[in-house]
Chain A
Amino acid sequence: MVMKGARIVLEALAREGCEVIFGYPGGVTLPIYDSLYDHHIRHILVRHEENACFAAEGYARSTGKVGVCMATSGPGATNLVTGLVDALMDSIPVVAITGQVPQNLIGRDAFQEADTFGITRSCTKHNYLVKDVNDLARSIHEAFHIASTGRPGPVLVDITKDVLLSQGMYHAPGPIHLRGYKVSLEGHAGQIKRAAQMIWEAERPYVYAGGGIVASGAAEELREFAEVLEAPVAETLMGLGSLASEHPHCIGLLGMHGSYAANMGISNADLLIALGVRFDDRVTGRLEAFARHAKVVHVDIDPAEIGKNRHADLPIVGDVKHVLGRLNKLLAETKGTEGRAKAQARARWMEQTREWRQLHPFSTAYSDTEIKPQFLVREIDRVLGGNAILSADVGQHQMWAAQYVRFKRPRQWINSGGLGAMGFGLPAAIGAQCGNPDKLVFALIGDGGFQMSLPELSTIASYGLPIKIVVMNNGCLGMIRQWQELFYNKRYCAMELDSFPNCELLAAAFGMKGRTIDKPQQVAEALHEAIEEPGPYLLNVKVTPEENVYPMVPAGGAVNEMILDTPAPVEVGD
């Protein structure tokens, strides 16, 4: 079919199942917008391109489908960069379409020209510069293929304006074959068999589950695995929800702000079964001390992750869903052959992790007169009951949410894990709500991150997205304050946020409901009011500023050397 390049873009997007584009138009992408005028794909006009990419991520993270964002050349494309890196770090499938100046102007410092292809090379899994309309459809279909297969990630397609305007053929794509791109899903049968042996030989097995479980849809396989094995399962920030928080084997978050049980467990385990994880420094702390008694079975679809940070005694390159499926079968067949002694040792081990959980549960800080931030998050958890999508920003509130909020399944927890990009939470909630129009979407954001993404209130108002925004307002950059308190002698610097807009007026200015609360007795009632409101709701919660996230493993410390509570004041000599 002969059509204009701009139309080919939409045709290819539609064929890939794209329902919504998060974007911001500009001079060179106008031909696409002209085609969008009478096309069924929905366009959400965000207020900043960075948020277009975050929204596409929110959509992708909550639905498992590829998120699509679009920006114009020059500033539009450069504004996408933070979102692209965020998607790369967390392995989120995003396709970004950018316009480029016409070919005859490339390299001539044209208006709104930037070397998008060069700038985004290291921010994406792969990128394209399309200079021929006959390459256009193939490039977009390849972009979706690359973004969504193997280890997912962002792919950018930069298209010159003359290509968008010229006539070309649209061919439906055949099977995509890329010479340099091979994905091995299955996992080596021999290695899987050896893994089963190692598992039955272990007395203190420990499952370290990450974003790979979510990406491959292996939650069911993980549950089965944990139950056959009767081992504790700790989750990374990206893996929250991969095993239901209420499941008796789930011991919650591990790492820098992980639970006492999870961090003690990993330090005492004799076998670490690492599933779709990358041994991030926020998980491992000091690498030499990490899981020092454990042999490691590492399953990952990306061969470059094997042995990157921690030597794998048994590497398995493959899709964790496939691998666990086969491993579960083997384990079910061989269960009981390991002998009573091993089984008893494993039962004692499970009992030990339960004791650790009881010994140091997460803080239950409460005050009658002021709202403790921990109390706010516990109340959110209680009111939501594991039934909502929760999008978090970055900082203390994110860590408390990761500790306290229970999830029933993957893709309920949306956060910027690897990059830790402030300003992520609100636009990601927009994407999540667009992808899940019938679900309750909460955005829990600090007062810092909220002010980074404030313009998106306008997007939420425009489209009437019923997002419930809870600002955990401590009047400062809480995590900065915490580090300055603990590691910089309380020399507080550049952490105060002392002018926060009047929430009621701010919400009213965007035509939405807003409210500020500062008493613990108001929390539950205000949360219910937000949920019952049919439209968006902005809830500003004033919380105690001097609260720290514990447990905490200081950067570079060993994970079992946690700070469990605020240390007693130390005299600083002069």
Chain B
Amino acid sequence: MLQLISLLVENKPGALMRVTGVLSARGYNIESLTVARTLDPELSRMTIQAEVEAAIRPLVIKQIQRLVNVVQAVDLTDTQAVCRELMLVKVRVSDEMRAALLKEAEVFRARVVDAAPGAYTLEATGASEKLDAFLEMMRTYGEIEVIRSGAMAMPRSTKENKRVTTKGKDLRKVSV
């Protein structure tokens, strides 16, 4: 199982490298990584999925948290978190199958973002497993090209998650 890490990081040059360095120095592969600015322009939110043995996970979190640019580091692996991914799929589809494809896409709530003769580009969001299933379905219509964003995760506002705190702050109170 992948470790799911959510970070609040100062939006500064080198901050990303410092974080990924903690993982790469141990030879851990990063499966996905998303970064973007938060409401506070000085901070970025990162979501990382990496192959880390369960026993080492708390140490990885502490070593990332120790970095001067990291405001908050949380392990969401075994917590209740909303986890979503964005995917773009281009499907080369024959004329007679176009209608069927659109219907199928609707089942997965995917939207057409580009249409051209012989191909559709679809946008889908959801849990990674749902996107995997959608891809399998799309393959049956023709050749596909895919880009995935990697997971973005946000802890659910539950009583249990109140305990997910770092550096003395309640995760939910940092509203960025």
Q: Within 8 Å CB of A306, what residues of B?
A: 62
Alpha-carbon separation in the docked complex, A49 to B122 (Å): 57
Alpha-carbon separation in the docked complex, A125 to B63 (Å): 11
Contact indicator B66/A302 (Cβ below 8 Å):
yes
Residue A487 CB within 8 A of the other chain:
no
Q: Within 8 Å CB of A181, what residues of B?
A: 68
Contact indicator A180/B10 (Cβ below 8 Å):
yes
Alpha-carbon separation in the docked complex, A121 to B21 (Å): 9
Contact indicator B13/A303 (Cβ below 8 Å):
no
Q: Within 8 Å CB of A129, what residues of B?
A: 13-14
Q: Within 8 Å CB of A125, what residues of B?
A: 68
Contact indicator B69/A180 (Cβ below 8 Å):
yes
Alpha-carbon separation in the docked complex, A129 to B68 (Å): 14
Q: How far is the CB of A372 from chain B (nearest CB, A)?
A: 43
Q: How far is the CB of A138 from chain B (nearest CB, A)?
A: 13
Q: How far is the CB of B13 from chain A (nearest CB, A)?
A: 7
- Once A118-B17, A122-B25 are accepted as A-B contacts, the answer to whether A304 and B62 lie under 8 Å apart by CB is yes
**Cross-chain pair count, CB within 8 angstroms:** 46
Within 8 A of B (CB), among A299-327: 302-304, 306-308
Give the B interface residue count (CB, 8 A).
23
Within 8 A of A (CB), among B134-171: 167-168
Residue B172 CB within 8 A of the other chain:
no
Alpha-carbon separation in the docked complex, A126 to B66 (Å): 10
Residue B111 CB within 8 A of the other chain:
no
Contact indicator A308/B68 (Cβ below 8 Å):
no
Residue A208 CB within 8 A of the other chain:
no
Residue A340 CB within 8 A of the other chain:
no
Residue of B nearest to A308 (CB): B59
Q: Within 8 Å CB of A122, what residues of B?
A: 21, 25
Residue of A nearest to B56 (CB): A308
Alpha-carbon separation in the docked complex, A129 to B67 (Å): 16
Q: Within 8 Å CB of B67, what residues of A?
A: 126, 180
Residue A146 CB within 8 A of the other chain:
yes
Alpha-carbon separation in the docked complex, A435 to B13 (Å): 35
Using a CB–CB cutoff of 8 Å, the interface residues on chain A facing chain B are: 117-118, 121-122, 125-127, 129, 146, 178-182, 302-304, 306-308
Residue B58 CB within 8 A of the other chain:
yes
Residue B70 CB within 8 A of the other chain:
yes
Q: Within 8 Å CB of B70, what residues of A?
A: 180
Alpha-carbon separation in the docked complex, A121 to B15 (Å): 10
Q: How far is the CB of B29 from chain A (nearest CB, A)?
A: 18
Alpha-carbon separation in the docked complex, A46 to B9 (Å): 39
Q: How far is the CB of A495 from chain B (nearest CB, A)?
A: 31
Q: How far is the CB of A318 from chain B (nearest CB, A)?
A: 13
Residue B105 CB within 8 A of the other chain:
no
Contact indicator A121/B58 (Cβ below 8 Å):
no
Residue B6 CB within 8 A of the other chain:
no
Q: How far is the CB of B11 from chain A (nearest CB, A)?
A: 11
- Once A117-B14, A303-B62, A304-B62 are accepted as A-B contacts, the answer to whether A180 and B21 lie under 8 Å apart by CB is no
Q: How far is the CB of B20 from chain A (nearest CB, A)?
A: 10
Alpha-carbon separation in the docked complex, A515 to B123 (Å): 81
Residue B50 CB within 8 A of the other chain:
no
Q: Within 8 Å CB of A121, what residues of B?
A: 14, 17-18, 21
Residue of B nearest to A125 (CB): B68
Q: How far is the CB of A87 from chain B (nearest CB, A)?
A: 16
Contact indicator B65/A303 (Cβ below 8 Å):
yes
Residue of B nearest to A179 (CB): B71
Q: Within 8 Å CB of A126, what residues of B?
A: 67-69
Alpha-carbon separation in the docked complex, A182 to B166 (Å): 11
Contact indicator B66/A178 (Cβ below 8 Å):
no
Within 8 A of A (CB), among B17-44: 17-18, 21, 25, 42-43
Alpha-carbon separation in the docked complex, A181 to B70 (Å): 8
Within 8 A of A (CB), among B65-118: 65-71
Q: Within 8 Å CB of B68, what residues of A?
A: 125-126, 146, 178, 180-181
